[in-house]
Structure 1
């Protein structure tokens, strides 16, 4: 990594997830004097062998795909850029490592980040806006290529909280889908996954009565399922701009009551690894990320028939959670370093790279043109569940409303929902606590 990388940047709170510093100025991103302009980028020639550090959260087959892709980029890019990739654990661990490095030195050039993480970095003025690169004639992205991006994927690079700036670029994306064992469904007399949450409950009771099996296993972090229930009913859990929530709404109380009932009747249970419960035929369904479609194909083989569908919906516009981090560039005083970072990010989000990533993993491609490559079209033909995950689920996926308080809200909601399913809080008590704590967190979060 270039020695010009800043050794220390504005101090981050290392003992807390939520930052409470405020942006210096009205716009998002790095300070004006550190931000490249399209004019300054045009004609810039990179010296041979610029090295950039890339931090990510990918292990197992996903990490193997990253290694393959980085090796491909290093061997073929025309600028001689060398990417050094480094696995940093979970998203939370990666965020902690980035914040520590920004405070103490040795920060990466490119990092994976969720929108909530990005807004934390924005609040500390360490994000490089990408619009000058996107608009560059020499290094930018054409209108045709912009149109190739899946709608939900493009939208998450330019969320409202970014104040008109593009602050990230695609890495890999997945969505919350509903896996179901078609053989268990048939044994229970069920011919299709549930259309709405009332039918979800009906089917859960039917599966237990007819087969003796639980309907589903849910992980220790149930906030994602709870959020999905609310969004499927047509409401967002909270509004960062207004610092208000929908946690005490009738839709929210109804969702919490359903979760409590499912556990009370032992129709679902908590498991550390819900995929193992599903693939070993201990449950009929699993609500989980479509990124795991590929591992299910490997584990299930031909032992039973299964597929993946959109989770239950109760509004006119289908919606499900959009998962997966983006790429961001962290500020440096070296414009060549930042340009090299952008060129790697641009390559990673393009057709060929996305087809490799989607074929090697369960991620869905960020660009529709990847579906037409020989590699991915063959892979989807051989693995129809991956194609179903894209067609049935991924195209309906959208991110949650991002906020710098998002990580803290998620942790709090996770704990309170767990109290509900354990019977320690009533849905009404839980809703009021989530509303009060989220409102406070949103009010104290940095505003861009």
Structure 2
């Protein structure tokens, strides 16, 4: 089989395998001109009615009492338990008498299957916590209710300042509400970097190359040729790693209408990583996890997400070296997580679902959610309230300081497929040794073959 077909087959297999595994206006009264004739008594204006909160949404607060809403999510483990606890707290404390019934499906793949089944039997929930690409698909299928009437409601919505408090800020026509976020960042052994002569983290791809190659040169300096491959960046083909590298080179694959992989910026990105590996400044590990590589100085850089911070910190306990989290060169990174979306039901149920969603993204609850998961809160004001947690978790604090640089992924129905292609493409170049331009062409071809676009 030719190398071209081999790479093509590899990409298609990886993608398909991954594919299987959202006033009353008062007019001024006219004053009568005085005359000698007796004045005609002026009728007293009728008192204006006090606006009822929620009237514009077709429901009064009284109609919310006793409403029970169903809340489905794909979280698992401790996060699922936290959401169950938050549902109980809201049900017992909210002023409207709303009850929330949460259902956790264990993962987002199962959640998607549950929604697919429920839409055929008209048994959809009132509120969903799901992946953005799932919600983009459901929006195309008219399964989601617009947020605009609630976002800008004077009583139940968000002010302009509150919308700007989200990271990134809420759009005027937002489809979903952002919740806590994980992030894909570089773990960096800065003690070793200083020993190599570098006083600060790399800010550009060239500075990254210099530090990675200096780390590899340190291993080559001894008499043992079997360890000459260590140092630099320990390679992984995680799709979020691929996306973060692309963002570092301004190679965003989403152009607003579709995904285009074969671009000059994307080729520059993969060529840089290919050359890094060929020079020995990046290496592929045989281990399933590589937390020990940094404290053992076998790597200067490794890519992890926020959920992996405890494991990486544990690996450093037996080392005197210190580490932190840094952005990819160019102050880039990738943040990701699940969003809240409303399902069209009745005015009362939709408002009840919105009120629970609004409570979940409040600074106080976002702070609690972030503290218990190690993720980043959706609200900047929540970050400001987490000083004690930040002091006890310096790597998390380093990630939080990068919030402005962590771009949100595309809100596109095919983002899941595109993301898997990114990981496959990264592996095809940096691990297998494929030609960057050829791999990018095949990524475009695969995307078009699967989507028909």
TM-score by structure 2 length? Answer: 0.76
Quickly say closer, same or farther: Cα 1:128–1:299, change in 2 above 3 A.
farther
Equivalent residue runs for 1:135-284 within 5 Å = 135-150=152-167, 152=168, 154-155=169-170, 158=171, 165-211=173-219, 213-221=230-238, 223-241=239-257, 243=258, 245=260, 247-264=261-278, 265=280, 267-269=282-284, 272-275=288-291, 283-284=299-300
Quickly say closer, same or farther: Cα 1:423–1:369, change in 2 above 3 A.
closer
Equivalent residue runs for 1:34-433 within 5 Å = 39-41=56-58, 43-104=60-121, 106-150=123-167, 152=168, 154-155=169-170, 158=171, 165-211=173-219, 213-221=230-238, 223-241=239-257, 243=258, 245=260, 247-264=261-278, 265=280, 267-269=282-284, 272-275=288-291, 283-293=299-309, 296-297=312-313, 300=316, 303=319, 304-313=321-330, 318-332=331-345, 334-373=346-385, 376-391=386-401, 393-423=402-432, 425-433=434-442
Instruction: Map Cα deviations across residues 165-188 of structure 1 (whole Å, 9 max, x no partner).
Output: 321012212333222122333444
Quickly say closer, same or farther: Cα 1:217–1:83, change in 2 above 3 A.
farther
Quickly say closer, same or farther: Cα 1:219–1:60, change in 2 above 3 A.
farther
Output the aligned Cα RMSD: 3.2
User: Quick check: 2:232–2:299 contact (8 Å CA) kept in 1?
Assistant: yes
1:31 maps to what in 2?
none
User: Quick check: 1:116–1:403 contact (8 Å CA) kept in 2?
Assistant: yes
1:28 maps to what in 2?
none
TM-score by structure 1 length? Answer: 0.76
2-side partners of 1:172 and 1:292: how far apart? 16
Give secondary structure in 2 for the equivalent of 1:363. Answer: coil
User: Quick check: 2:231–2:297 contact (8 Å CA) kept in 1?
Assistant: no
Quickly say closer, same or farther: Cα 1:67–1:284, change in 2 above 3 A.
farther
Give the CA deviation at 1:410. Answer: 2.0
1:11 maps to what in 2?
none
Quickly say closer, same or farther: Cα 1:95–1:284, change in 2 above 3 A.
farther
Give the CA deviation at 1:417. Answer: 2.9
When Rg is computed on C-alpha atoms for both structures, the one with the higher figure is 2
Give the CA deviation at 1:41. Answer: 4.1
Instruction: Map Cα deviations across residues 200-222 of structure 1 (whole Å, 9 max, x no partner).
Output: 2332222233255443344443x
User: Quick check: 1:38–1:135 contact (8 Å CA) kept in 2?
Assistant: no
User: Quick check: 1:178–1:285 contact (8 Å CA) kept in 2?
Assistant: yes
2-side partners of 1:87 and 1:216: how far apart? 37
Give secondary structure in 2 for the equivalent of 1:119. Answer: helix
User: Quick check: 1:176–1:311 contact (8 Å CA) kept in 2?
Assistant: no
User: Quick check: 1:219–1:273 contact (8 Å CA) kept in 2?
Assistant: no
1-side partners of 2:284 and 2:18: how far apart? 31
- Give 5+ residue unaligned stretches, structure 1: 1-14, 19-36, 159-163
Give the CA deviation at 1:240. Answer: 3.7
Quickly say closer, same or farther: Cα 1:133–1:38, change in 2 above 3 A.
farther
Give secondary structure in 2 for the equivalent of 1:177. Answer: strand
2-side partners of 1:16 and 1:100: how far apart? 21
- Give 5+ residue unaligned stretches, structure 2: 1-16, 21-53, 220-226
Number of corresponding residues = 392
User: Quick check: 1:297–1:383 contact (8 Å CA) kept in 2?
Assistant: no
Give the CA deviation at 1:352. Answer: 0.7
2:41 maps to what in 1?
none
Quickly say closer, same or farther: Cα 1:144–1:416, change in 2 above 3 A.
closer
Instruction: Map Cα deviations across residues 394-419 of structure 1 (whole Å, 9 max, x no partner).
Output: 12122233322222222233333322
1-side partners of 2:318 and 2:89: how far apart? 33
Instruction: Map Cα deviations across residues 252-276 of structure 1 (whole Å, 9 max, x no partner).
Output: 2222223334445372325544557
Quickly say closer, same or farther: Cα 1:343–1:434, change in 2 above 3 A.
same
